Amino acid sequence: MPGLYRIVEGVLDLQEAVGAVAGPGRGAIATFIGTARDHHEGRPVRALEYHAYPEMAERVMRDIGREAEERFGTPHVAILHRIGRLNIGEASVIIAVGAEHRREALAACAHVIERLKQIVPIWKKEHYADGAAWIEGSRLTPASG
């Protein structure tokens, strides 16, 4: 199955994701970039830190790509997720989906980011001026989702 699923230490490359899903049969490439925001629930955030279970995360990302292919007929999916410390504004996740037409490209891209947040074993820590906190997220599993 075509696709690119990778946990990355260091800056993410949008062109790498787009290049992995581009091709002559595709008339649309939808992309999503998640970036580090400088506040959370009213509290200023100085930096983000992501931690992953890389081997399982890449496997689950691949499962999500397969799910997108089944639901939307879009086998060309790329997911890059950064780990380590990020400055505000830097990309934490990049998703690209190549498809014949825009509708399924956009729908699949939206699906992939939602599922990533639900089930990929990655954790976010926010750093504040006076400390840091892990963000508790989703309890879904592929079976329950």
Partner 1 sequence: MLFARYREAAGARSIEVEVPANATLADVWAGVRSKVPALREERPMFSCDRVYAREDQAVTGREEIAVFPPVSGG
* Rounded CA separation 139/68 (Å): 21
Nearest to 98 by CA among 7, 31, 14: 31
Our CB check for partner 1 shows the closer of 109 and 122 to be 122
What does the DSSP 8-state code read for residue 92?
A: E
38 binds partner 1 (CB under 8 A): no
142 binds partner 1 (CB under 8 A): yes
Of 53, 66, 107, 110, the one binding partner 1 (CB under 8 A) is 53
56 binds partner 1 (CB under 8 A): yes
Return the amino acid letter for 143. A
Alpha helices in 22-136 (DSSP H): 54-72, 102-119
Our CB check for partner 1 shows the closer of 51 and 102 to be 51
8 binds partner 1 (CB under 8 A): no
